[in-house]
Amino acid sequence: MENNLLYYMGIDVQIKRNCSYFIVDENADIIDSGWIDGASHIETAINLYKIAQALTVDQKEIAFGIDAPRMPLKDKRPFYWDGKKGLWRNRKKKEKGHGRHCEVIIKSLGIANPQWARLEPECEDWMRLGFDIYRQMKGFDNVFEVFPSASYNMLKDDRDVKVTINFAKFSQGPKDMIDACIAAMTVYEFIHGRGTEVGNGDGLGSIILPRPLIDVINTDLLYWPT
């Protein structure tokens, strides 16, 4: 992937506290970090957009890693992955049908445990905030979905990913700010060709990871049934 980016911004989406963000440059040095509040989901999304827009002259100069599902389900998930048999099967009537293809891959490979996307009326409030943030950022070229828990697990024995930080904005929620930091670094690693992208076979978005998949025994998992 050709890289003309200057900034990498990670966003930790939540509603119990304000959303945290963390921005690094091409050298993985911290540029800014902080917390975004808003009277509504839309206002929070707009405030994040304004911070990103103020950094750049060209919207192609920044990439985002957002820790939230890109969109809700349009219908109940029709297919389930049977790990023992190594094949997709039709959803059973008793099954809820939650989750997107990208989430199924991450769960089935044991990388992390996703919070399953659902039909929009069933989605939790923080997910709806995430949908609004994605919609607000649609004018930017590089907007990715990340999953910090998956990134932590993939990098747990990796000493090559390093970032300089300061602790000026950590006091409100240290874990949230670290999640925003790993979100930024996941995008950084992916853009530099060291990661991978999974899912979107169902057309509901993919998740990027900071490293390639190495334990995929059955590659059928990576492809959505037709």
Q: Are 91 and 80 in contact (CB under 8 A)?
A: yes
Instruction: Provide, rounded to the nearest whole percent, the portion of the chain with pLDDT above 70.
Output: 98
Domains of the chain plus CATH, in order, are 7-73+115-222 (3.30.420)
Given a cut of 60, whether residue 2 has pLDDT beyond it is no
Instruction: Please indicate, yes or no, whether the overall pTM of this predicted structure exceeds 0.75.
Output: yes
Given a cut of 60, whether residue 174 has pLDDT beyond it is yes
Given a cut of 90, whether residue 215 has pLDDT beyond it is no
Give the residue-averaged pLDDT of 14-37: 94
The per-residue pLDDT for range 60-83, each reduced to its tens digit, is: 899 999 999 999 999 999 999 999
The per-residue pLDDT for range 120-165, each reduced to its tens digit, is: 999 999 999 999 999 999 989 999 999 999 999 999 999 999 999 9
pLDDT of 1 reads 47
pLDDT of 129 reads 97
DSSP 75-129: S---EEEETTTTEEEEPPTTS-----HHHHHHHHTTS-------BGGGS-HHHHH
Average pLDDT across the chain, whole number: 94
Beta strands 7-12 and 19-25 are antiparallel
pLDDT of 118 reads 97
Under DSSP, is residue 164 helix (H, G, I), strand (E, B) or coil?
strand
**pLDDT confidence bin for 191, thresholds 50/70/90:** very high
Whole-number Å distance between alpha carbons of 154 and 152:
6
**pLDDT confidence bin for 214, thresholds 50/70/90:** confident
